[in-house]
Amino acid sequence: MALRQTIAVAGIAALSFAGAATAQVPPPNGPRLYAPPPRIEIYPRPVYRRCAVRYVVQYRPSGPVLFPEKHCWWQRG
């Protein structure tokens, strides 16, 4: 019976010592290991979309078909 009590007391002492040892470690006060991402400011220019629409003839098996065609681009204004 005395052997079991001795083992139990030694186990509890070891656990409390291990917990106390890890709790006593201070947090690091050195510089951070990463840098914040760079901030890029973008000032958009005033642009608008211009489109040109026309009709083209496409040849299909059933015969020629008039088909609308649209071409767009961005233009500064």
Tens digit of each residue's pLDDT (9 = 90 or more) over 8-36:
555 565 555 555 555 566 566 766 677 88
What is the C-alpha to C-alpha distance for residues 51 and 74, in angstroms, rounded to an integer?
Answer: 9
Mean pLDDT value across residues 26-50: 79
Mean pLDDT value across residues 37-56: 90
Assess if residue 19 is contained within a domain.
no
Assess if residue 10 is contained within a domain.
no
Assess if residue 11 is contained within a domain.
no
Q: Which two tokens stand for residue 31?
A: 């510089």
Assess if residue 63 is contained within a domain.
yes
Asked if 38 contacts 14 with a C-beta cutoff of 8 angstroms, the reply is no
Assess if residue 77 is contained within a domain.
yes
Assess if residue 20 is contained within a domain.
no
How many structural domains compose the chain?
A: 1
The boundaries of the domain holding residue 70 are 46-77
- pLDDT grade, residue 76 (50/70/90)? confident
